[in-house]
Amino acid sequence: MALARLHLTLPVDALVRLRLASPGPAASTGPSEPAASTGPAGHAAGAGPDPIDLLVGAGFLHADGDRDDGDRDERATRRAGGERSDPGADPGADPGADPGADLSNSVMVGQPVELTVRRAWSLADRVGPGMRLLVCGLNPSPYAADHGIAFGRPGNRFWPALLAAGLAGVDRDPDAALAGHGIGFTDLVKRTTRTAAELGAAEYRAGAERLERLVEWLEPGVVCFLGLSGYRAAINRRAVAGVLPDGFAGRPAVLIGNPSGLNAHLTPARLAAELAAAAALTGTVPPRSTPVHRSAAPASA
């Protein structure tokens, strides 16, 4: 949450030097136990959060120290004209690249991490221990990124439904929802776009993997995905709305439709009922434990 608060106080593209604790090596295993699996930068499962995941989730990217002056001038001109700097739209950059790829070269297991990072045009996660429900959207919209509120656009049915379900006490206040009701917020992809069609298959894969590590670390009571097309594109193209039989990363999980006001099939009353039912799954165990299936290519949004 400290990184999320820092993200809110900084303008887009602001540079900041951070010193983070790196995850230590996993606990030693017995002679018959398998070695711990590793994630990006040699992160060992069960050893704590990876600093790369923390930074990406909080809306930071590696500072662009290798860009030439012309590239920086172009971005500054766009900002001066009132256009937000989109970190995925830099010339020559792969829009589907893992935003933590450059960071991984700076991380050594068991050593502190000191990095200069850039505040991205993104939406910082609001997560913490003891979450009752972790709500996961597809990726930040420009409105959400500008205001720091997931599903915050007027006309979106999410917050009225969350209030009606008794899962929040303050409208459009993710910090209050987390602190008072255990409702956390994240996204499958952290890059802000105007349409889902701008997202690439590599972004979906990297995002699903980051989310899996986040869920394994914080162990929320339930993971609640909002948006069928996004979940199908990123994880399982054959998924249907409702309780996900295999859960997600060892936790119960639910797939609900998009709460946008444009989705006429999901009324506010129905959405409230589905959110309440999702929260009620806390404490249940998925009937099967299988690896998360991820789609090889994004589905049409």
Containing 142, the helix (H) or strand (E) segment is: helix 142-147
Q: What is the pLDDT of residue 239?
A: 96
Amino acid making up residue 15: L
pLDDT in tens, 137-188: 999 999 999 999 999 999 999 999 999 999 999 999 999 999 999 999 999 9
Handedness of CA 98, 99, 104, 105 (dihedral sign): positive
Q: Which residues of the chain have pLDDT under 50?
A: 24-46, 65-108, 288-291, 293-301
Q: Assign domain 133-279 one CATH number from 3.30.70.890, 3.60.10.10, 3.30.470.20, 3.40.470.10.
A: 3.40.470.10
Structure token pair of residue 114: 């000191």
Task: List, as one string, the DSSP characters of 60-84.
Answer: EEE--TTS-HHHHHHHHHHHHTTPP
Q: What is the pLDDT of residue 225?
A: 98
- The model's pTM is 0.76
Structure token pair of residue 135: 């709500």
Separation of alpha carbons 10 and 119, rounded Å: 7
Containing 223, the helix (H) or strand (E) segment is: strand 222-226
Q: Within the chain, which residue ranges are assigned CATH 3.40.470.10?
A: 133-279
Structure token pair of residue 234: 């990123």
Separation of alpha carbons 80 and 181, rounded Å: 40
pLDDT in tens, 126-150: 999 999 999 999 999 999 999 999 9
